[in-house]
Amino acid sequence: MRLRALLGGIEITMANRLLVSFSAFAVLAIGVSATAFQAGSQRTPRVSYEAPPELQHTDLPQWPYTPTPPKGTAVVAPDDGEAHHLPGSTKAFTTKEIDGASAVDWFPDSHPKAPAPVIDGKPGVYRACGTCHLINGYGKSDTENLNGMPVAYMQQQLEDMKGDLRHASVVNMGVITMIPVAKALPADDAKEALEYFHSIGPAKWVRVVETDTVPKTMPGPHRLTAVDPSGAKEPIGNRIIELPENFDRTMLRDPTSGFVAYVPVGSIKKGEVLVKTGAGGRTMACVACHGADLHGGGDTIPPLAGRSPSATGRQLYDFKTGARHGKNSSMMQPVVAKLTDEDIVNISAYLASLAQ
């Protein structure tokens, strides 16, 4: 595979049998300043899938809504057909297969047999669920963790997306790529996929680290946050930085390589108070509905513990702005109404620190 960067005609050739090294992928966003990343440059959206204009925001924190690299920053040369490998797997896949409409399954013996909607999708109709959520549903920071989610809850989210009742607060972010899938997904296919993801057990997928400083970051491919190749550090401020533990393996759709979430010092304890007590009326205690262990409250209330903090942050903001206003969303309105940006960071950090 070759990455041709539009930087003075530089061309980088990669023959590594794993994948392009992280430093090569970093070229995708060289020249994008940290300020531009935090401000959030997005491509022209597909308006039909966006929230109504009055529910779109440009003033929200960037950390939950990782943008794609600016258009024209770099182009990727056609796949050269070379197979990639992962430690412990006997499988081999080319870049074309990894980035295709079907999902790759590196470790087929580690999960129940994946049904067709999860691994194959339906050509010309929708991509396989496992391409974005991974074959085991563990997901990435730009998607959501589906493993162990209640079937009825996931079904309702699909219905909300189909009915234009669940959007992202920020243009071209969040569920923008999922809405057309939900609209195209036949009911029988959806049932198969959701029952499969529900059957996948808990995972330790996000490692949470409290810190004052973090690596300088930038938008990476596949809406992932990437470490800036300069190696510079910067204050974490009031945000969460969620990064792949191993960028190369995440790009390969490795379902065994998780994420690290850097959170502000003290945020986990502050989040615990908010989640367990409501902090004197600033919010409502999450444990009241989502269970004392935050592992869910029945068929329609999802588990919160051990999930991606980026995904949690997006959903709290989407409830607060009204971009997410489907069935049962009204129950979340009083929960999020008074939350500050710092509260959302603290809640997301605490929930991610828990075991699924």
3-class secondary structure, 255: coil
Alpha-carbon 60 to chain mean position: 17
Angle at 170 between CA 102 and CA 275, to 5 degrees: 90
Q: Which amino acid is at 11?
A: E
Has residue 5 got a pLDDT over 60?
A: no
State the Cα angle at 14 between 12 and 20, rounded to 5°. Answer: 100
Decide which of 166 and 18 is more confident.
Answer: 166
For residue range 134-162, list pLDDT tens digits in order: 999 999 999 999 999 999 999 999 999 99
Q: What's the average model confidence in pLDDT over 273-296?
A: 96
**Phi and psi for 28 in degrees, rounded to 5?**
-55, -30
Residue 66 pLDDT class (50, 70, 90 cuts): confident
At 42 the pLDDT is 43
Binning pLDDT at 50, 70 and 90, where does residue 25 land?
A: very low
Q: Which residue in this structure is represented by tokens 């056609």?
A: 78
The dihedral formed by the CA atoms of 61, 62, 64 and 67, expressed in degrees to the nearest 10:
160
Indicate if the alpha-carbon torsion angle 261, 249, 61, 318 is positive or negative: negative
What is the rounded average pLDDT for all residues in the chain?
Answer: 87
Q: Encode pLDDT of 294-337 as tens digits.
A: 999 889 999 999 999 999 999 999 999 999 999 999 999 999 99
DSSP lists the bridge partners of residue 131 as: none
How many whole angstroms separate alpha carbon 339 and alpha carbon 315? Answer: 13
Query: Is the confidence at residue 289, as pLDDT, over 80?
Result: yes
In the predicted structure, residue 12 carries a pLDDT above the cut 70:
no
The pLDDT assigned to 72 comes to 61
Domain borders along the chain are 2-353
pLDDT of residue 30: 35
pLDDT of residue 17: 39
Query: Is the per-residue pLDDT at 11 higher than 60?
Result: no
Question: What would the pLDDT profile of 38-57 be if each residue is shown by its tens digit?
Answer: 333 344 445 579 999 999 99
Please report the pLDDT score of residue 255 as a whole number: 98
The predicted pLDDT at position 223 comes to 87
**What is the model's pLDDT at position 78?**
66
User: Residue 88 corresponds to which amino acid?
Assistant: G
Q: Contact, 24 vs 229, CB < 8 A?
A: no
Strand 93-94 to 2-5 pairing: unpaired
Range 213-219 average pLDDT: 95
Positive/negative CA dihedral, 350, 168, 234, 74:
positive
Q: Give the mean pLDDT of 262-269.
A: 98
Q: What is the pLDDT of residue 7?
A: 30
Q: What percent of the chain stands above pLDDT 70?
A: 85
Q: Which residues of 62-77 are buried (b: 16+ CB within 10 A; e: fewer)?
A: bbbbbbbbbeebbebe
**DSSP symbols for 250-262:** HHTT-TT--EEEE
What's the rounded Cα separation, in Å, for the pair 346 and 352? Answer: 10
Mean pLDDT for 24-33 is 38
Residue 224, classed as helix, strand or coil, is: coil
What mean pLDDT comes out for the span 32-42? 38
